[in-house]
Amino acid sequence: MFRLALLSLALVGCAQKSEVDAMDARLKAIEEKVATLEKAPPGKAGAAPAANPEEEEAAGKLMTEVQDSIKLNDYATAKTKLADLTGKYAGTRAGKAAGRMAAEINLIGTDAAPLEMDKWFQGKADLSGSKATLLVFWEVWCPHCKKELPKLAEEEGKYKEMGVQVVGITKVTKSATDEKVEEFIKESKAKFPIGKEKDGNLSKAYSVSGIPAAALLMNGKVIWRGHPARLDDATLAALLAKG
């Protein structure tokens, strides 16, 4: 072993015993670290091994149960099952996705953040003039957002009848500019208020890590958080009745 070879050289050089002992300890530590790395699975050193098919299947079933609970607005059950998912199957695809979902669910029942805007592209809104407010986070460079905004524009009348005001929120990031945002708003035919949030504070407040994203507010509280496409008429009606 290379430790013995270097130790022999140290002895030949008449090194003091304390120096030899210190060198021996350092080399032993290096050998142990190398041995640990050699035993580690391919990929990131120290990372947990990939989940097996059985774990992926079990985690997938739990995620389905979580989603079913959310559809029923049973967030207590959803939180419990998410805890099981992240605790038992953290290395699975569903387990990794559970973190963001947990962050969304944990917002339910918290105070709504104030609408702090850097500017309004059209209209203006606050949280006091409507029964409920649906905040929709989007960016002009996001292909899914460019599909959702025109849908919201078409359905705004329905939301108004249900007592819900829609508010679009953008940070104007990446390749976006104010001019591109204004151009797309015209193309989408959206009439509801759309603003540029100040310093990304709203995205932080509502745990927005992917877009499009939406938050439904009522009576100063968050009563729903998720992808806008998941907020169907039945779910919205149930949330408003309960809220």
Average pLDDT over residues 63-74: 88
The residue among 46 and 174 whose pLDDT is bigger is 174
Q: How far apart are the C-alpha atoms of 168 and 215, rounded to whole Å? A: 11
For the entire predicted model, the pTM comes to 0.73
Look at residue 111 and tell me if it is in a domain: no
Task: Say if residue 76 is in the same domain as residue 178.
Answer: no
Q: Is residue 95 part of a domain?
A: yes
- Mark whether 125 and 234 lie in a shared domain: yes
Q: Are 98 and 63 in contact (CB under 8 A)?
A: yes
Q: Is residue 46 part of a domain?
A: no
CB-count exposure of residue 193 (10 Å: 0-12, 13-18, 19+): buried
CB 202, CB 229: distance < 8 Å? no
> In angstroms, rounded to a whole number, what is the distance separating the alpha carbons of residues 87 and 110?
24
Burial of 38 (0-12, 13-18, 19+ CB in 10 A): exposed
Residues 133 and 223 in one domain: yes
Same domain, 137 and 63: no
Q: How far apart are CA 173 and CA 200, in angstroms?
A: 10
User: What pLDDT, in 10s, does the model give residues 119-175?
Assistant: 999 999 999 876 899 999 999 999 999 999 999 999 999 999 999 999 999 999 999
Q: pLDDT tens across 73-89, in order?
A: 888 899 999 999 999 99
- Answer whether residue 149 is part of any domain: yes
Number of domains in the chain: 3
* Residue appearing with tokens 């419990």: 80
Mean pLDDT, residues 34-38: 45
Tell me whether residue 48 is in a domain: no
Give the range of the structural domain holding residue 90, as residue numbers without chain letter.
53-105
What are the respective helix, strand and coil percentages of the chain, to the nearest 5?
55, 15, 35
Q: Is-contact 47 41, C-beta < 8 A?
A: yes
Using 50, 70 and 90 to split pLDDT, how confident is the model at 2?
very low
- List alpha helices for 13-142, DSSP H: 17-39, 53-71, 75-88, 93-105
End-to-end CA distance of the chain: 71
Residue 79: partners with Cβ closer than 8 Å, 6 or more residues away: 102, 105, 106
Report how far apart, in Å, the C-alpha atoms of 146 and of each of 117, 143, 188 are. Answer: 21, 5, 8
- CATH value at residue 222: 3.40.30.10
Cis peptide before 41 (omega within 30 of 0): no
Predicted confidence (pLDDT) at residue 44 exceeds the cutoff of 70: no
Give the residue, 50 or 126, on which the prediction is more confident.
126
- 108: its two tokens: 């339910």
Q: Are 160 and 240 in contact (CB under 8 A)?
A: no
**Helix or strand holding residue 217 (H, E):** strand 213-218
